[in-house]
A and B are shown apart, each in its own frame.
Chain A
Amino acid sequence: MRQFIIRRTCYSIITLLILSLTIFSVVRLTGDPVTLMAEPGARAEDLARVRTQWGLDHSWPVQYAHFVQNILAGNLGISFNYRMPVSELYFERLPNSLQLALAATLLSFLIGIPAGLLSAVRVDGAWDQAGKVVALLGLSIPGFWLGLVLILVFSVYLEWLPTGGKNDWRNLVMPSLALGWYFAASLLRLTRSSMLEVMRSEYIKLARLKGLPGYVVIAKHGFKNALVPVLTLAGVNLVVMVNAAVIIEVVFAWPGIGRLLFEGIFQRDFPLVQGVVVLAGIMIVFVNLLIDILYAYIDPRIRLTR
C-alpha cells in the first residue's frame, strides 16, 4: 500500500508541474504579460514599474522558478479589485463551494445510485425505461440552463425558493440540483450496468448457493463489487463538477470560487484569475489523489498487486 501511495503521489506532483507550466506559458506566449499584470488603465510608466516589480524582465526559466516559489509560499498575488491577497479570498470562498459541491454530490448519489440499482434489478421494466430517458437527458441538458429553468419555475412562478445568494437551506436546493444533475445521470448509467454485470457473475451464484439471505447477496456481495467502478467515476466527476460549478455559481449568485473566477474575468482582475485557476488545479489534483487511495483501500487487488 505504501508503494502505491508513493507512486501516485509522484504522478500528482508531475501533474502539478504540468499545470503550473501551462499556466505560466500561456500567459507569456499569448502576449505581453505586463499588460495583464498591470491594472486596467495603467500608463506607460506604470507598466515599467510593474515589469520590475513582478520580475518580468528576467529570463523565462528564472521567472518560472519565482512563479513556483511563490506558489509554494502561498503567495498568489494581490487582487486588483479587492486589494486582498488572492489566497485569502480563495480560502474565504472555498467553504461555500465545498458546501455546494457536497450537496450536489449527495443529491446525485441519492438519486443516481438507487435509480441505477432499481433499473438493474428490474431490467427493461418501466423504471428502467424511465432511467434511460433520464440518463440521456442528463448528458444533453446544459446545467446552467437547467438552473435558469428551475429559477423560472420555482422562484418566479411558484415563488417557493429564492433566486440566489446564500442564506439558508432553501438556497441550496436548486443549485445542487442543477449541478448534480449530470452526475446523477452518469451514476445511474454506471450503477445499472455495473450491477447487471456483477449479478451475472459466478461468485454471486456461489453466494446464493451458500444459502445466504437475498438481501445479503445483493447488498454485501453485489453492491460492494458494483461500487468499485462507480467510485472511479466519482473521481472523474469531481473534475466535471468543478467545471460546471463555475457557471452554476454565477447563475445562482452563490458566493463560491467559481463566482470569484467569474468576477475576476469580468473585472479584468488578472492576479485573481490566475490565482484561482492555480489553486483550483492544485485542489483537484490533491482530491484525486485521495480518491485513488480510497479506491485502493476498497479494492485489494489494486493495493496488493500494483
Chain B
Amino acid sequence: MYKYREVVYDVMSDLRQVYDDKQLNEYHILWYVSTIGSLLMKQHLDNEYARTSRMSGRYLSIFPDVKILTTPTNLGNLVAGRKYVRLPAILLDFDYDRAVEYITYKKGSSTDSPAFQTVQFQRTTPAISQLLNATFEKPEPDNPYFYLIGDIVYFLGIEATDVDSVEMALFTAIDPRAVVSMDDDCPIPPHLISQLKYQILNLGRFVLSVPTDKVNDGNDTTVVPPPKQIETQNENQ
C-alpha cells in the first residue's frame, strides 16, 4: 500500500511543474486526495455490488470498541434517554445504509467468548419500522436493531441491558483530518492511483487557472458607452 507521502508529493510535484507560483500546501493536496479518493472508492464498491451483490472487505474499517452513550436532554438529533453511538468515521454513502457492514455486541464476559459469538444488530429505519407487529420482530437483547440519523446510530432492544460498547464495521471515506502522518497508508489501491492523479490534476487545472480577463490588474476597465450620435437629415433629400 502506498503512503500518503508518495501520493501527496507526487501530485504536488506535478501541479508545481505548471503552477510554480501558486500557494499549495500538503493539506490542500491531501484534501484533494481524500475527496477524489473517496469518490473512486465509492464508484469501485458500487460497481462491485452491482456485479456480485457483495462488497469486498478491502475497504472495510473495524471499530471494535465504540462506547454507547445516552443524553439526558434533547439536543439536535439527540433524543433524551435513547442509547446511541456517534459514527467514529465518515461513511461512504450507499443505498440502504450499506456502508454499515455490521454492528455487534458481545454477550457476557468480553474475554471468554469467541470473536464471532456476538449478537448482530438488524438494520431498520424509523419510517418503515413496525417492530411490534410480530413477536419475532420485537426488539430484544437477542434481536436488537439499529437505525441511522445523521451521524448518530440509535439502538433498539438493548435498553434494559448493561451493554456499554459495540463493534462496528464500516465502509468509510478518507477523512483528511484523521490522517496523522505522511507515512500513514493511503487506502487507494495502486491500480486506482493513476485515475486519482488524473482527476486531481484536472481539478487543480480548473481551480488554479484563472482566465486573464478575471485577473485584477488594477486598471479601470469600466466600459463607457460612446455618446449617442444625433442623426441629421440630409438637406439634399
Are chains A and B native binding partners rather than an unrelated pairing? no
A residues bordering B, Cβ < 8 Å?
A: none
